[in-house]
Amino acid sequence: MADAPQPSLIPALGVVVAGLALAVTGVLPWAGMTAEIDLFHTSFTHAVHGTEDGAGWFVVASGLAASTLGIIGMAKGWLFTGLAILPGAVAAFSLAMFLTDPRGLADRLSFGVSGVLQVHPTILYGWFAALLASIVVAGFAAAALIRRRP
């Protein structure tokens, strides 16, 4: 009887790296209010970082949890790596909740004076980086769950 093939370490390593990247995205700017002053042809953006909101802390914790599961998965087996799909899903849900938070509705309203001033909300690169990292974590975790049959 042949030995069972060893699972690849690539999904576990991918979960570790993507999980750490996900944790870092929590401190990046996620959103902001941009004021464009047409008279001077300038714009100003006030950025809100992920950790300024509860959702950002969930993303940081999810990234660290995913990395931990990836490290355990390298030592113990593919199932622990596969469980990292849960922190990836929590992070994606937290990102969605950040955008739909009704308490910040007043801060997200757009207004302007034609030809003089335009103020509008913007989603910044940190939010998109967090979304991408959560998808990558879930993808590597799903790859660990898919086992090849002999």
How far is residue 16's CA from residue 87's CA, in Å, rounded to a whole number? 12
End-to-end CA distance of the chain: 12
- The CA distances from residue 56 to 97, 104, 118, 135, in Å, are 10, 15, 28, 16
Tokens of 142: 């799903």
Indicate whether 5 belongs to any domain.
Answer: no
Q: Helices in the chain by DSSP H: which ranges? A: 10-25, 54-76, 78-82, 85-100, 125-145
CATH code: domain of residue 36: 1.20.140
pLDDT tens digit sequence for 86-122: 999 999 999 999 888 645 544 555 656 677 777 777 8
Total domains present in the chain: 1
Indicate whether 105 belongs to any domain.
Answer: yes
How far is residue 92's CA from residue 125's CA, in Å, rounded to a whole number? 15
The confidence score (pLDDT) of residue 150 equals 44
| Parent domain of 27 | 10-145
Q: Using the 8-state DSSP alphabet, how is residue 121 labeled?
A: E
Q: Which residues, given as ranges, of the chain have pLDDT below 70?
A: 1-7, 101-113, 147-150
pTM for this structure? 0.81
